[in-house]
Amino acid sequence: SCFRALCCKGPPPARPEYDLVCIGLTGSGKTSLLSKLCSESPENVVSTTGFSIKAVPFQNAILNVKELGGADNIRKYWSRYYQGSQGVIFVLDSASSEDDLETARNELHSALQHPQLCTLPFLILANHQDKPAARSVQEVKKYFELEPLARGKRWILQPCSLDDMDALKESFSQLINLLEEKDHEAVRM
């Protein structure tokens, strides 16, 4: 029985890996959220100036997230980093000024319509829900015109904050489900 235990146990099945791109304006909280998901302390997070890559482990998948800096002078280069992405994480600051929200809306719209991203699943995170000025998910959905714009696309809009990691992990689980569905479709074609 000792032999059987050794021979039949085998390594755990490999978790699928997905390559994602994470975009959003500076200050939306991309780095902090990803650091927290990797169990790193978000205390000494600095704004991403170019891009950074994190492998974010989940029970059923590993997400290789390429996070792109959100400053004005970097956003125009975002599309250079889209190639090879299998999904998109868009982080917005739901407590930001009207101007920033308008900019975020324009950036999300161009991402949703970009030829390399338009067929991919999107996880849209309305971050900073713990701030008094935060807009609700309903307000964000309406302001960002997600229903008409993203009809027929696969997207998830979720509220989040660093205080509620369970909700954040649940949002990522939903994204992983969409990525798996897309994988199965590719196999069927």
Tell me 80's DSSP state: G
Tokens of 12: 């755990």
Comparing CA positions, the residue from 179, 172, 186 lying closest to residue 54 is 172
Annotated binding site for Mg(2+): 31, 48
Identify the bridge partners of residue 161 per DSSP, sorted by sequence position. Answer: none
CA torsion through residues 125, 83, 116, 60, sign: negative
Rounded CA-CA distance 107/96 in Å is 15
Q: Are 95 and 80 in contact (CB under 8 A)?
A: no
Annotated binding site for GTP: 24-31, 70, 127-130
Annotated binding site: 24-31, 48, 70, 127-130
